Structure 1
Amino acid sequence: MTLQSKKYDIMEQYETELEAFSIIMKDKDYSVLTQREYMLDIRRFLGSVYPKPVEDITKLDVMRYLTSIRKSGTGGSARNRQLSSIRTFFKFLNLMEIIKGNPALEVEKTKVEKNRIPTYLDELELVHFFQEVDGRYVIRNVAICMLMAYAGLRVIEIHRLNLKDYHRDEEYLRVKGKGDKWRVVPLLPEIIDSLDRYMPIRIPHRSGKDIPLFTSQFGRRIARRTVQHVTEQAFAAFQESKPENEKKLSSHKLRHSFATLHIRSGTDIRSVQELLGHSSIENTQIYTHVDNKQLRAAQGNIKGKLPALK
């Protein structure tokens, strides 16, 4: 059996369950990206148990699958995300009364190290990074990187931005974040300047009711992969020019840099949480481990009160 024919057989075997899963995700207004990722996770999982009927899948099957992807190099966070997808899949099938029970419900999540100090670029490193932003559409690319490094936008948020979300006169962006939650991000003059440079050369959008802010060379909404590629090229050039810098850098590190810059500049953590669009302040607190001026100041209160060592 070829890989293609097996894929077709899997789709046919679980057609009813996959259709039900898709319907209920749409009904619950899951984002298109979430639907795609969940469906991909479930197809991979079902491929590991094929041709076993869904109602016969056991907790052991789920654990065996998670073990197999761990052996193939999948990290703890990614395994937990796939377990979440599998749990949701069975939960929805129960709601649709297709099966009874959830074999993934009692499977424990992988323990993942929390509060790791995030990788980031400091102020001077950011200046050097922007010197390396290049490409055929360098003006667009600079504007994109400015929004990530100095407004804290995620790759998916850059991809989603529409022209109507940019309020030039009021100097802010409306940003659609995780869970389709909206937030308002004020824009600094330098960011507005980068967007002012971009707008006159922006390639008009060719079709669709929502007009994207950032477009490709063909006038389509810029792809997430393109945004990642822009930053990857700049980071590669940056690290080539700074071989002593051994940080593991990616597009999301610009967002880390934004948060860290605020914390080091004395911005209160609640404001940083709002700017980042974090639902929980716990997600924001990892940046306080980098340089918390309030804690340093607090320690300064007992300066001179320690005993002298002989």
Structure 2
Amino acid sequence: MAGSPFIESLRAEIRVRGYSLRTEKTYIFWIKRFILFHGKRHPRDMGPEEIKAFLSWLAVSRHVAVNTQKVALNALVFLYQKVMHRQLGELGFQPARKQRRLPVVLTPEEVFKIINQLSDRNQLVIQMLYGSGLRISECLRLRVQDICFSSLAVTVKDGKGNKDRITLLSKHLVAPLQEMVNLALAVQKTDNEQGLGPSLPDALGRKYPNAFRSPGWMYIFPSSTLCPHPLTGELCRHHLHDTVIRKALQAAVRASDIRKKISCHTFRHSFATHLLQSGCDIRTVQELLGHNDVSTTQIYTHVIGQHFAGTTSPLDRFQLLK
């Protein structure tokens, strides 16, 4: 199925509409799963009933999370309504169980214990996740022009939901981040001498052929190797792959002997929780995280117990009777 005319035409349609590469991979993954589930039948020979069966199977047999089922639904809606121009109507599938899971959050002491197990670039990345509330993909895609050292601001371009936002930059990271920028620009200079440079978004490279020489477009955390551009095939330097940081983080967690399920995203959760604990307004935290709805941000009030509004355990009342 990989490389089939249908899949390649679908890929082309996604790219024409300007969707991100991550969305492209996700949509194609779920559409392939849908086709395989129905014995490799072509989507044109299927419709609402087959979609309903597939989505219900994900919920009942695979026990996927509600958000996973939603992503699969979005992929199939895109296929049928945007590409094949067929309206699906009411599907009536079995919804996945909506489970509210509280995010794992570290204490400030645990954050610094883990950070101290890291060094150089890996330490700086984790510090950025915690200090600015970034997702790992957002951090590694930062370019030189996205950092404003004078106003201590980080601009996140094309974040989740294709949104831009501005978040905080810790003053403690100014010096190490400037050093990292200088190292990245040195890499860019070497690449430029060979007529190469950083990968560029969308059609920017065609519109501005020399943009790869501009310092502003250089990744702050560049990959150590060159690779073909995923869209154009031209040789370029992409940003560091997230698996490099994830592996370094897991080693640091083991060394710190903290027995929590910790990932790169844990530091974003900790950023939000610690801001709320310090008295920061929830709307401000919402903006810094880039959440569309404040209800998404409110999960952190449950982590710190703010939703109790001062309520005490009934057992504590026995203290008053003594």
TM-score (norm 2): 0.76
1:227 aligns with 2:242: yes
Closer, same or farther: CA 64–188 of 1 in aligned 2, 3 Å:
same
Closer, same or farther: CA 294–74 of 1 in aligned 2, 3 Å:
closer
| Matched-pair contact (CA < 8 Å) for 1:62–1:104 | no
Provide the alpha-carbon RMSD of the alignment: 3.1
| Matched-pair contact (CA < 8 Å) for 1:231–1:251 | yes
Task: Give a deviation string over 1:138-194, Cα, whole Å, max 9, x none.
Answer: 422122111101101112212321111111223211112212211112312112133
1:186 aligns with 2:168: yes
Closer, same or farther: CA 70–276 of 1 in aligned 2, 3 Å:
same
| Matched-pair contact (CA < 8 Å) for 1:59–1:107 | no
User: Which residue of 32, 45, 49 corresponds with 2:34?
Assistant: 45
1:204 aligns with 2:194: no
Aligned residues: 282
Equivalent residue number for residue 174 of structure 1 = 155
Alignment of 1:1-310 (within 5 A): 7=2, 11-12=4-5, 14=6, 19=9, 21-66=10-55, 67=57, 71=61, 74-95=64-85, 100-102=86-88, 105-114=91-100, 116-133=101-118, 138-176=119-157, 177-202=159-184, 204-205=187-188, 206=191, 207-208=197-198, 209=212, 210-218=217-225, 220-223=237-240, 226-242=241-257, 245-292=258-305, 296=309, 299=311
Task: Give a deviation string over 1:212-242, Cα, whole Å, max 9, x none.
Answer: 121122363324xx33432443233323432
Letter in 2 for 1:213: I
Unaligned segments of structure 2, at least 5 residues: 192-196, 199-211, 227-236
Comparing 61-70 with 286-295, greater Cα deviation is found at: 61-70
Q: Please state whether the residue corresponding to 1:266 is helix, strand or coil.
A: coil
Task: Give a deviation string over 1:112-145, Cα, whole Å, max 9, x none.
Answer: 213x321011100011011111xxxx42212211
Letter in 2 for 1:33: R
C-alpha distance in structure 2 between counterparts of 1:80 and 1:180, whole Å: 18
C-alpha distance in structure 1 between counterparts of 2:132 and 2:94, whole Å: 37
| Matched-pair contact (CA < 8 Å) for 2:249–2:263 | no
Overall identity of the aligned pairs, in %: 25
| Matched-pair contact (CA < 8 Å) for 1:159–1:221 | no
Task: Give a deviation string over 1:47-89, Cα, whole Å, max 9, x none.
Answer: 3334433233144433443426864575443233112211221
Closer, same or farther: CA 194–105 of 1 in aligned 2, 3 Å:
farther
Closer, same or farther: CA 293–112 of 1 in aligned 2, 3 Å:
closer
Unaligned segments of structure 1, at least 5 residues: 1-5
Closer, same or farther: CA 257–238 of 1 in aligned 2, 3 Å:
same
Closer, same or farther: CA 163–200 of 1 in aligned 2, 3 Å:
closer
| Matched-pair contact (CA < 8 Å) for 1:173–1:186 | yes
Letter in 1 for 2:280: T
Q: How far has the Cα of 1:30 moved from its partner?
A: 1.8
C-alpha distance in structure 2 between counterparts of 1:171 and 1:34, whole Å: 31
| Matched-pair contact (CA < 8 Å) for 1:151–1:258 | yes
C-alpha distance in structure 1 between counterparts of 2:43 and 2:179, whole Å: 55
Comparing 226-235 with 148-157, greater Cα deviation is found at: 226-235
| Matched-pair contact (CA < 8 Å) for 1:214–1:221 | no
Closer, same or farther: CA 144–70 of 1 in aligned 2, 3 Å:
farther
Moved over 6 A (4+): none
Q: Please state whether the residue corresponding to 2:167 is helix, strand or coil.
A: strand
C-alpha distance in structure 1 between counterparts of 2:246 and 2:255, whole Å: 14
Letter in 2 for 1:111: R
